[in-house]
C-alpha cells in the first residue's frame, strides 16, 4: 500500500513460483490481485520455532521437534485415508498423523530426518501431532522459511495453508525485493530513524533470527514500526494538506451576537457546565475567523452537545444564514425537531424536519421553503444529500453521530453551502490521540463534564431470571415512569436463536397489558415510528419494546428503566449508548443487562463503569483497533497494523514528520514529495474533498 514496485511489477501473480491459476483464484478471495497486494498482505500473528524440544520433554501445546522416521503406515476408513508416521529422537517417539493426504505415503521415507511443528496431544497414552507443518531437514527452502525461526501466521481462506502462503510471499520477495521503492525522502527517514521500506516489508514477513519474540508478536520491532509509521503518516499528511487548503479558503466571518443570544440562554432551565462554556467559546472563536470552521465535538451520552450546537446555529441565524443538522435516523431527526422547536418557541425562527419517507407534498413544500430561505434551521437524515435539496444561504452545518455517515456524505452536505462552518459531533468517545489521527483535519473539543443533577444509573446484570425484570418493570409502572426493552432482532430466525422484539411484545403485553406496550423497529413506516415515539414520550405507552433504532439521541426524561435483552450480543459502546437513554432527569434510573450466559467480560465492565471514555478504551482492547477505527474512519483505508494502545509514540512521530515537511519544504507539491503525493492519490484519490470546499 505504501511503496512502489519497479521491475516487472505487472507480472501476472500466477507466474510467481508456486502459485499457478488455482492458487491465484484463492488469493483473490483475500483481495490479493497483484504482486503489491501480496507483499502488503501482512501477518496477523507470529510463532517462535527457534527452539527444538526433545520428544521426552513434550506436553500439551505448540512445539517444534526433530526426529528420524522409523515407521510409515496407511489406513483407509471409507473415504478417509490416514497416513501415520512415527518419528524418533534419542529420547522417545511421537506419531505424526495426516488426514486425506495419501500422496504423503510415497513422499515419506524410512530413516529420513524430519522437522515438524504443531499442537501436541496425548491419545491413548501416546504423543501425537495431527496435520503438523513439516519438512525434511535437507529441504532447504521449506526449512528456511518454516522452521528454526520466528514464522509469520496469515489470515487465510479455505484451500490456502500457512506453508503455502509463506512460500508465495518468500518467492515474491526473492524476485522483487530489490524493486521495492521507498516514497519517503531519505532525509526524512534519517531524521526520524526509519528503516527503509524494503527492510520494513521483508522483516515484517520474515523477522531477523535474533529478534526478540515479544517485540515481533506485539508489532513493536523497528521494521514493523516503519510500516505502522506509514499508515499513520499518510493519513496525517492527507489531513494536514486538506486542512492547509481549508485554511487558505475564504469562509464566513460571523459576528458574535451575544446581546441577542442572552434572552434565549437566560430562559434555559439549566446552567451550562464549565466544559460546555469552554467549548462554546472555542466554537465562537472559530465562527469569527474568515475561514471555514471544521471542529469535532466529543461528549459522552447526555453531556449536552445538542444545546451547544443550537446556540451556534442561533448565532448563524442572527447573521442571516441557514443551518442544517444531519442525523442518522428518522426517529432521531423527529426527536431533535420536537425538542429544538419547543426550546425555540416564542422566537421568530422557522424550523423544519426532512426525511426520505415523509409525504411527498410536505417534502416538496419544505424544499421550496428551504431554497427560498423561509426555513432557518433544517433537521434531516440522508435525505439532505438529495440533489434537489437546495439552500438559500447555508452557513452552519452540524453532523450528529459522525461515525454513522461516510465522509463523502458529510462533504455532500457541506457542498450545498458556500464554505459553511462545520461542527461534527460524536457520543462515541475515543482517546484524544486516536481522535487526532482519524479526524486529523479537525480542531478538537470535548465536553468531559456531565450536567448538574444527573445521577449514576444503577446497572445490574440479570442472568436467566426474568422475574427480576418483571419486578423492576412493575415498580417503575407504579411510579408512573417509562421503560425501554431493547432486543437485538425484530423476529427470531432459524439460524440465530435469540430473543426477538415481536415475541417480547407478546410476552410483556400478557403480563402488563397490551395497552401499555408498544413496538418500535427500523423496518416500520416513518409515520408509525413517529406516532409510537410520540405516544411513548407522552406516557400513553409505558413500555417501549424496540431494536437498536433507539440507540442514539432519543431523549425521554420520564424513562427510568432500560432493559437490554441478550445483552452479550451488543458491543460495549452500543450498550453504553443504550444505557444513556435513561438517567435524563433527577429520578433514579436503572439499566438491566439480561443474559443467558454465566459470565461475560463486557457486561462486567458495563456494570462497573459509567465513564464513556473508560468504556471506549475497554472496547478498543476487547474488539481490537481495526473494527472500531474502521467504523470511525467511515470509508478510509483500514489500518492493517496500527494498534492505538501499542503505538502511541508512532502517532507523535508521524505528526512531527508531517509538520517538519509542512514547515521546511515550502509546498506540499515539492519535487522531493512526488512519491508521497502519488501514494496519497492512490489511497485517497476517491475522497477528493478539498475541491468541495
Question: Residue 335: pLDDT above 50?
Answer: yes
Task: Output 446 or 470, whichever has higher pLDDT.
Answer: 470
pLDDT surpassing 60 at residue 629: no
Q: What is the pLDDT of residue 533?
A: 86
Retrieve residue 133's grid coordinates: 507443518
Of 42-51, 416-425, 471-480, 552-561, the one with minimum mean pLDDT is 552-561
Please determine, for residue 89, whether its predicted confidence score (pLDDT) is greater than 90.
yes
CA pair distance 538, 527, nearest whole angstrom? 16
CB of 237 closer than 8 Å to CB of 440? no
Instruction: Check whether 409 has a pLDDT greater than 60.
Output: no
* pLDDT tens digits, one per residue of 3-32: 888 777 678 888 899 999 999 999 999 999
pLDDT above 50: residue 188 = yes
**Helices H, strands E: what count in the chain?**
25, 23
Lowest mean pLDDT among 113-117, 129-133, 331-335: 331-335
Q: What is the pLDDT of residue 405?
A: 52
What share of the chain in percent tops pLDDT 70? 88
Q: 3-class DSSP state for residue 673?
A: helix
What pLDDT is recorded for position 675?
Answer: 92
pLDDT at 137 over 80: yes
CA nearest 146: which of 159, 158, 157, 162? 162
Is 80 exceeded by the pLDDT of residue 624? no
Average pLDDT, the chain: 86
pLDDT tens for 521-578 read 877 887 788 888 889 989 999 999 998 776 555 678 889 999 999 999 888 878 888 8
pLDDT band at 656 (very low <50, low <70, confident <90, very high): very high
**Residue 345: what pLDDT?**
86
Which CATH number is correct for 258-447, 2.60.40.730, 3.20.20.450, 3.40.50.300, 3.40.50.620?
A: 3.40.50.300
pLDDT at 690: 37
pLDDT score recorded for residue 551:
55
| Interval 202-235: pLDDT, tens | 999 999 999 999 999 989 999 999 999 999 899 8
Report which of residues 441 and 578 the model is more confident about. Answer: 578
Residue-level pLDDT at 497: 58
What is the reported pLDDT for 514?
Answer: 93
* Per-residue pLDDT at 572: 82
pLDDT of residue 86: 96
Say what percent of the chain tops pLDDT 90.
Answer: 49
The CA angle 156-162-166, to the nearest 5 degrees, is 110
Q: Is the pLDDT of residue 139 over 70?
A: no
pLDDT at position 433 is 60
CATH number for domain 51-148, candidates 3.40.50.880, 3.30.160.270, 2.40.50.140, 3.40.50.2300: 2.40.50.140
Averaged pLDDT, 391-412: 73
pLDDT-based confidence at residue 689 (cuts at 50, 70, 90): very low
The mean pLDDT of 305-313, rounded to a whole number, is 94
- Fold for domain 458-609? Rossmann fold (3.40.50)
| The model's pTM | 0.70
Residue 138: what pLDDT? 76
Closest CA to 200 of 40, 437, 320, 92: 40
Cell numbers representing residue 264 in the block: 434565549
- CA neighbor of 375 nearest in space, from 332, 409, 344: 344
Which is it for strands 443-447 and 517-520: parallel, antiparallel or unpaired? unpaired
Q: Where does CATH 2.40.50.140 sit in the chain? A: 51-148
Closest CA to 238 of 658, 640, 663: 658
Is the separation of the CB atoms in 83 and 151 below 8 Å? no
| Lowest mean pLDDT, pick from 177-186, 412-421, 584-593, 684-693 | 684-693
Residue 459 banded pLDDT, cuts 50, 70, 90: very high
| pLDDT over 50 at 432, yes or no | yes
Greater pLDDT, 118 or 548 = 118
Q: Where are the alpha helices (DSSP H) in 254-329?
A: 258-266, 274-288, 305-318
Q: Which residue has the higher pLDDT, 115 or 439?
A: 115
pLDDT band at 434 (very low <50, low <70, confident <90, very high): low
- pLDDT confidence band for 687 (50 / 70 / 90): very low
CA distances from 222 to 192, 198, 227 (A): 11, 13, 9
> Which three three-digit cell numbers place residue 660?
517538519
Residue span(s) of the chain under CATH 3.40.50.300 come to 258-447, 458-609
Which pLDDT belongs to residue 637?
A: 55
Backbone angles phi, psi at 581, to 5 degrees: -75, -20
* Mean pLDDT on 43-59: 91
Amino acid at each position: 500500500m505504501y511503496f512502489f514496485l519497479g521491475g516487472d511489477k505487472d507480472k501476472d501473480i500466477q507466474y510467481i513460483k508456486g502459485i499457478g491459476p488455482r492458487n491465484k483464484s484463492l488469493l483473490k478471495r483475500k483481495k490479493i490481485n497483484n504482486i503489491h497486494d501480496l507483499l502488503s498482505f501482512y501477518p496477523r500473528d507470529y510463532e517462535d520455532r527457534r527452539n527444538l524440544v526433545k520428544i521426552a520433554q513434550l506436553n500439551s501445546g505448540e512445539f517444534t521437534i526433530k526426529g528420524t522416521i522409523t515407521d510409515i503406515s496407511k489406513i483407509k476408513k471409507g473415504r478417509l485415508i490416514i497416513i501415520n508416521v512415527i518419528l524418533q529422537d534419542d529420547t522417545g517417539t511421537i506419531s505424526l498423523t495426516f488426514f486425506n493426504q495419501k500422496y504423503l505415503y510415497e513422499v515419506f521415507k524410512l530413516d529420513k530426518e524430519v522437522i515438524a511443528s504443531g499442537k501436541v496431544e496425548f491419545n491413548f497414552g501416546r504423543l501425537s501431532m495431527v496435520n503438523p507443518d513439516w519438512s525434511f531437514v535437507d529441504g532447504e527452502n521449506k526449512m528456511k522459511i518454516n522452521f528454526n525461526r520466528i514464522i509469520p501466521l496469515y489470515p487465510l481462506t479455505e484451500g490456502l495453508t500457512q506453508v503455502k502462503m509463506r512460500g508465495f510471499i518468500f518467492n515474491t520477495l526473492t524476485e522483487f525485493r530489490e524493486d521495492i521503492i521507498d516514497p519517503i525522502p531519505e532525509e526524512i527517514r534519517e531524521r526520524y530513524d526509519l528503516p527503509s521500506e524494503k527492510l520494513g516489508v521483508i522483516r515484517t514477513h520474515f523477522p531477523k533470527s535474533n529478534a526478540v519474540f515479544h517485540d515481533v508478536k506485539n508489532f513493536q520491532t523497528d521494521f514493523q514500526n516503519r510500516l505502522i509509521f506509514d499508515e499513520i503518516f499518510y493519513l496525517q499528511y492527507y489531513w494536514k494538506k486538506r486542512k492547509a487548503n481549508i485554511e487558505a479558503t475564504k469562509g464566513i466571518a460571523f459576528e458574535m451576537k451575544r446581546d441577542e443570544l442572552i434572552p434565549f440562554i437566560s430562559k434555559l432551565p439549566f446552567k451550562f457546565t464549565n466544559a460546555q462554556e469552554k467549548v462554546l467559546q472555542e466554537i465562537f472563536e472559530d465562527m469569527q475567523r474568515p475561514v471555514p470552521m471544521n471542529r469535532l465535538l466529543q461528549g459522552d451520552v447526555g453531556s449536552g452537545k445538542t444545546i451547544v450546537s443550537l446556540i451556534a446555529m442561533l448565532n448563524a441565524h442572527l447573521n442571516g444564514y441557514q443551518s442544517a443538522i444531519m442525523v442518522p435516523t428518522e426517529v432521531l431527526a423527529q426527536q431533535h425537531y420536537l425538542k429544538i422547536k419547543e426550546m425555540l418557541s416564542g422566537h421568530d425562527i422557522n424550523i423544519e424536519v426532512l426525511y426520505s419517507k415523509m409525504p411527498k407534498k410536505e417534502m416538496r413544500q419544505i424544499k421550496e421553503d428551504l431554497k427560498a430561505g423561509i426555513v432557518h434551521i433544517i433537521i434531516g437524515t440522508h435525505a439532505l444529500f438529495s440533489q434537489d435539496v437546495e439552500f438559500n444561504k447555508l452557513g452552519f452545518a452540524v453532523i450528529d453521530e459522525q461515525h454513522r455517515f461516510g465522509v463523502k456524505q458529510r462533504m455532500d452536505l457541506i457542498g450545498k453551502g458556500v464554505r459553511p462552518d462545520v461542527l461534527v459531533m460524536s457520543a462515541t468517545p475515543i482517546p484524544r490521540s486516536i481522535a487526532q489521527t482519524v479526524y486529523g483535519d479537525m480542531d478538537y473539543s470535548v465536553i468531559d463534564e456531565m450536567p448538574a443533577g444527573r445521577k449514576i444509573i444503577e446497572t445490574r446484570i440479570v442472568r436467566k431470571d426474568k422475574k427480576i425484570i418483571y419486578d423492576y418493570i412493575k415498580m417503575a409502572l407504579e411510579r408512573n415512569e417509562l421503560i425501554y426493552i431493547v432486543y437485538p432482532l425484530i423476529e427470531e430466525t432459524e439460524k440465530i436463536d435469540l430473543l426477538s422484539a415481536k415475541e417480547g411484545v407478546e410476552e410483556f403485553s400478557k403480563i402488563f397489558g397490551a395497552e401499555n406496550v408498544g413496538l418500535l423497529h427500523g423496518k416500520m413506516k416513518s409515520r408509525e415510528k413517529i406516532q409510537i415515539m410520540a405516544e411513548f414520550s407522552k406516557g400513553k405507552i409505558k413500555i417501549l419494546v424496540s431494536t437498536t433504532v433507539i440507540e442514539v439521541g432519543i431523549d425521554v426524561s420520564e424513562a427510568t428503566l432500560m432493559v437490554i435483552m441478550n445483552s452479550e450480543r451488543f458491543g460495549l459502546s452500543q450498550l453504553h449508548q443504550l444505557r444513556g437513554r435513561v438517567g435524563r432527569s433527577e429520578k433514579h434510573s436503572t439499566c438491566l443487562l439480561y443474559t443467558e450466559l454465566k459470565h461475560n467480560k463486557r457486561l462486567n465492565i458495563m456494570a462497573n463503569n459509567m465513564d464513556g471514555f473508560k468504556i471506549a478504551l475497554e472496547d478498543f482492547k476487547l474488539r481490537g483497533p481495526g473494527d472500531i477505527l474502521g467504523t470511525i474512519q467511515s470509508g478510509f483505508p483500514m489500518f492493517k497494523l496500527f494498534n492505538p494502545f501499542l503505538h502511541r509514540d508512532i502517532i507523535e512521530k508521524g505528526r512531527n514528520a508531517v509538520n517538519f515537511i509542512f514547515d521546511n519544504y515550502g509546498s506540499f507539491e515539492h519535487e522531493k514529495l512526488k512519491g508521497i503525493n502519488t501514494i496519497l492519490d492512490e489511497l485517497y484519490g476517491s475522497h477528493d474533498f478539498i475541491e468541495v470546499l
